[in-house]
Amino acid sequence: MLATQCPPEIAEFAERCRERIRNTDDEQRLTQEIARDLTQVLDAGFDLPEELRRPQEERYIMYPLYVSEDDDLSIASAVWNVAQGTPVHGHETWGVVGIYSGQETERQYEKPQREGVPLSALDQAVWSPGQVTVCCTIDDDVHQVWNDGDVPCVGIHVYGRDIGRLERRSYDPETGDQSWFVSTWPTDNDEEK
Ligand SMILES: [Fe+2]
């Protein structure tokens, strides 16, 4: 499914991602290749319609740009308003994130081997427009992100599953308690109403 307002540059990028997915089972290689491709797309520049960059008041929002029929690729425009962020969470798939505008702060954690053990924090980084990071591979996918800049942060997020329908974990880093959640696409919320 390609969003009607998806920029052509992202539609082309989605096709390139699909080709790369078909050509390798190596997640490390795949995410590096997709990170390089996304860097080029951001460097070349494209117009993301205002409707796909709009923050919402209550919490961050992820607008679907592309979701494959085969549940092997989804691309979203993720928008954090000023001071919005996520809990510590996992993805249960690989992911690559590039910043379109604004800035995102990310703190990574070691993926715990079992529940109930406090999490170990790893690196913290601030990502700016044009920067791309491999946010996750299945064995290393736990982080927290937030916007401590003074304008909304818009990122292009690429995942190896349908991230709006995939069950994944959130963590209490102090206790190691885990709970499962689904991000849900805003369009799915509309259907539920
Ligand atoms: Fe994440």
In angstroms, what is the span from residue 11 Cα to ligand 1's centroid? 22
Please answer whether residues 50 and 133 qualify as being in contact, where contact means their C-beta atoms are separated by less than 8 angstroms. no
SS3 state at 72: coil
pLDDT at 187: 75
Residues, the chain, total? 193
In angstroms, what is the span from residue 99 Cα to ligand 1's centroid? 13
In angstroms, what is the span from residue 184 Cα to ligand 1's centroid? 13
DSSP 111: P
Total structural domains within the chain = 1
In angstroms, what is the span from residue 34 Cα to ligand 1's centroid? 17
For residue 192, pLDDT over 50 is answered with no
Residue 2 lies in a domain: no
pLDDT, average across residues 142-166: 97
CA distance 78 to 72: 19
What DSSP line would sit under 13-71, residue for residue? HHHHHHHHHHH---HHHHHHHHHHHHHHHHHH--PPPGGGT---SSS-EEEEEEE-TTS
pTM above 0.85, yes or no: yes
**Mind listing the pLDDT tens digit for each residue in 3-13?**
889 999 999 99
In angstroms, what is the span from residue 149 Cα to ligand 1's centroid? 18
Residue 42 lies in a domain: yes
**Mind listing the pLDDT tens digit for each residue in 167-184?**
999 999 999 999 999 998
pLDDT, average across residues 30-53: 97
Residue 193 vs residue 137, higher pLDDT? 137
pLDDT at 193: 39
Please answer whether residues 133 and 97 qualify as being in contact, where contact means their C-beta atoms are separated by less than 8 angstroms. yes
Domain CATH number, residue 143: 2.60.120.10
**Mind listing the pLDDT tens digit for each residue in 71-80?**
999 999 999 9
Q: What is the mean pLDDT of the chain?
A: 94
Q: What's the domain range around 165?
A: 8-192
Residue 125 lies in a domain: yes
Residue 3 lies in a domain: no
Residue 1 lies in a domain: no
In angstroms, what is the span from residue 89 Cα to ligand 1's centroid? 6
Helix (H) or strand (E) holding 187: helix 186-192
Please answer whether residues 84 and 59 qualify as being in contact, where contact means their C-beta atoms are separated by less than 8 angstroms. yes
pLDDT at 190: 56
**Quick one: what percent of the chain has pLDDT higher than 70?**
97
Residue 144 lies in a domain: yes
In angstroms, what is the span from residue 91 Cα to ligand 1's centroid? 6
In angstroms, what is the span from residue 24 Cα to ligand 1's centroid? 23
Instruction: Name every residue whose Cβ is closer than 8 Å to that of residue 13 and which is 6 or more positions away in sequence.
Output: 37, 38, 41, 75
